[in-house]
Amino acid sequence: MGKQQRQLHLNLFIMSVGHHEAAWRYKGTEPERINDLKHYQRLAQTAEAAKFDSVFLADGLSVNKHVKHGAFVGLEPFTLLSALAAVTERIGLIGTVSTTYNEPFHVARKFASLDHISNGRAGWNIVTSGSIHEAQNFNRDTHPEHAKRYERAKEFLDVTTALWDSWQDDALLIDREAGVFADPLKVHPISHQGEHFQVRGPLNIPRPPQGYPVLVQAGSSEDGKEFAAQYAEAIFTAQQTLLEAQQFYADVKGRLLRYGRTPDQLLILPGICPIIGATESEAKEKEQEINELTVPEYGLNQLSNMLGVDLYTYPLDGPLPELPKLEDINGNKSRFQLVVDLAERERLTIRQLLHKLAGGRGHRTYAGTPAQIADQLEEWFVSGGADGFNVMPPYLPGGLDEFASSVIPELQRRGLFRTEYEGHTLRGNLGLQRPNHPAVPAATAAAISQ
């Protein structure tokens, strides 16, 4: 038998009633259900039936300034993913959690719980947060500087992984006859003393089924790429062109060696917001229809935050004003650069840029037939631009239903996507190894029993 054809990975990025900022106004969506569990359970079950690798929930810790026009609010990820675990069996469950406004013990315990509840399907999208509004909800007047956030994130990851390792895999004995529940020599304090955290440990829950939840990262700045090369097992990234995607792919994969890692240990998944029509003209009409439902005041707030400039005083049909330098941006540096490059490359007015960003907030939006969309995904996949994709339906549930019923079968016909799950855990389906437990001398372990 010949070598099996490489297959792409697909994650469903669930965003309330869709990723387009006007999705809540679009026909067929039900914005009154954004807090309805059954809405999300249906989406997860549809994605599982289509054999998606995982579903993913973004999260933020503040309300958008222009809540008047936007439906980007949502349920807390751990709570929702636990409820989704109960009605699914194979699909991965990835939640966003900030390292800037949490403590490692809390996060390690919650992800270990989710991994146990789901029988090994948990994943953590690691973010450092990017907003002054979030800082103001956590006893701070200012948002920590970009590099400092990543320094804290690195130590945060060191502590959480140590906590997951604080129980050896075979620590639970449950010997009723002898009266021994767990082997105290296999449950260890971590005794971490660092710049940001002091944590004794051990965790008060046994090691997760996957060893660690799958570690996902979404930053594409220099700090973000280096962090990903050291820790991440998948990256959700935003790229607008195949050339940009290829450059990012080669850059990040090339950084792995310095951390003793191989290219297959990190999957790169660019975002794609697919607008699907039976014909290309139908897809373009659909794109125009939903773009016309946008409220410029809402998009301007989002774009102003991305670019670090108040755009409300500039004409919508004029060009962008002079912008800050990249080094002066303390939010999402990579998204700032992507938007600037997009505007310059296509010579967009502010209004045109708002429409370009309305569907994916910087992720690529593509309108076409199922075959055309499959062509795009295949080209990026086989040309060194992606290991798979972070699928961002512009409206839900319709956009997911259309993708699952038309694009997925096309990818399957081409041998590019699975027809059955390979494994029972998220790691198994992504082709990622389970991390081994590090060896700990018995003398050190004895401290826990004292």
Query: How far apart, in whole angstroms, are the C-alpha atoms of residue 271 and residue 40?
Result: 20
Instruction: Give the annotated binding-site residues for FMN.
Output: 59, 96, 146, 150, 220-221
Three-state DSSP class for residue 385: coil
Q: How far apart are CA 139 and CA 100, in angstroms?
A: 12
Structural element, H or E, at residue 57: strand 54-57
Q: Which long-range contacts (CB under 8 A, 24 or more apart) does 256-259 make?
A: 256/229, 258/229, 259/229, 259/230
Cβ pair 214, 124 in contact under 8 A: yes
Tell me, rounded to whole angstroms, the distance of Cα 272 from its chain centroid.
13
Residue 436 and residue 448: Cα distance in Å, rounded?
21
Say how far apart CA 28 and CA 30 lie, in whole Å.
7
Binding-site sequence positions: 59, 96, 146, 150, 220-221
**Residues linked to residue 122 through DSSP beta bridges, in sequence order:** 93
Contact 137, 100 (CB under 8 A): no
Q: What is the DSSP string of 94-156?
A: EEEEESSSS-HHHHHHHHHHHHHHTTS-EEEEEE----HHHHTTTT-SSPPPHHHHHHHHHHH
How far apart, in Å, do the first and last CA atoms of the chain sit?
Answer: 57
